[in-house]
Structure 1
Amino acid sequence: SGRSGKMRALSFKTGIACLCGSEVKEKFQYLFSQVANTGGLCDQRHLGILLHEAIQVPRQLGEVAAFGGSNVEPSIHSCFRFNNGKPTIETSQFMEWANLEPQSMVWLAVLQRVTMAEQVKHQTKCSICRQFPIKGFRYRSLKQFNVDICQTCFLTGRASKGNKLHYPIMEYYTPTTSSENMRDFATTLKNKFRSKQYFSKHPQRGYLPVQSVLEADFSETILQGELRRLKWQHDEAVESPTLATGSAESMQDSCNDELLVEARILRQHKSRLETRMQILEDHNKQLESQLHRLRELLLQ
């Protein structure tokens, strides 16, 4: 609000909904209802407004870079892949996307898990510090049998001999069930026969990644290639001596259409470059802030 003493209603509703104690599913349903029309449909523009408001929470904490940056366009495209090419999405399609925990919104589910894990006790012993019971998050190795790690040892990087934290690990914020124990046992048994190279080549993410800056560069390379192809066709058509006089007008119309397409692509390219520049500036500010905090910690 720029210290004006005013706040947009959607900003207030989004902030309260994200930080309240309701279930994540209910939060997403409520947030979608705030930007959907009376028919329960939402277009790309309104979805972008919602995602922009939601990403302000991690942005204020200096962590927006970890969630894909301030640019919400990749998240919009990721979400609209579920609508079969239609200009709007329904609540069910949005929820299907949200249940995959997309990178830009995964912090909301993580916040919910952190809240739920605060009072949880796991009836098992930490393999590193020997704490019993494990309180909070519990991390189970999926490479070695009977290796459980408490959240303090995991987050500080402590490890005993043979318990390497880069191996696949399952995080639990509630006590495990018998079916989960059997599933982890089967997974650990499979991983026993897999090498380190396998895990480095097949990394597993706990969220749905959105298009990165590098992937956007690749998309722009394709557009630039298409632009060059149109330009070559235009030059060949102009230089060709065999064109009939009667087709001159239609050829001119075709050239005009191609030039209009070229101009539109260039405008889109300019807009994307400006957006990327803003993202990089935001990332640079965040890195400078983190570097400043690290220096303060070292001086203490």
Structure 2
Amino acid sequence: MPESPAVNGPGPASPPPRLAGVSSAGTSPTDPVSRLAAGAASDGAARSLATAAPYTPGEVVVHRSFTTKRLVFVRVGHVVGHDERGLRLWIPHGCPMAVELSADGRGLRDMPFAEWIRQPTVMTTTVWRGPNIFMLVPPRGANSVWWFWDWQGRFVRWYINLEEPAVAWRHDGLVGVDTTDHDLDLWVTPERTWEWKDEHELEERLAFPDHYWVPDPDAVRAEGERLLRLVEAGAFPFDGTWTDFRPDPSWRTPDALPAGWDRPRA
């Protein structure tokens, strides 16, 4: 997951090699989505995005990331739409957020993982200082796809965040989406060149299986390769859809995280 990506920098100098010999993912128990399905028990109000009642455009939504059952990252945005293509969210620059930090204010990426797992941590409220994000969470899939624009409003790239299949929930009037980030990600340029991101983080953390939350790294990479076949084919969602998106000007970013943002994982 990017913290504050430099979205207007150059993409890869030349297209990486095309994928070869990778079969498409289906719905069998051995496909990456099935292997990466969320293991946390859902409460009665939680559903997969494929079966959840649709969220309403304009609703305020809490997007949360966990390491198994431990809350580590929260952002607030608005529902753009929710249909058979998935749940679309708008997470604006400056929205309220919370992130897990060490007692001295450092984050997961500010120290080796061997040091991080020995740190006392606390959820710290702040604001999102990265760029605006348009996010597509698919109804079935171990990923979300993010659209980034520069500060002049020009679309500059997609970001594929590899993660557990999302769970949607409603509780006391609050709506949310819960997932677990799988660390390995992909940048994709408008010309559909691509590069893997954070491979070193995945490799470093796999050495600590008692503390790490990614149980099947091969399935994570297979899910990324499945998405790359869509990239190389210019297929949805990498076909130009929503690259001209603009948020509803009537939406107002909340001043603070809503009550219930830190409820147990759905």
Q: TM-score, length-normalised on structure 2?
A: 0.24
Of structures 1 and 2, the one scoring higher in RCO (CA 8 A, sep 6+) is 2
Q: TM-score, length-normalised on structure 1?
A: 0.22
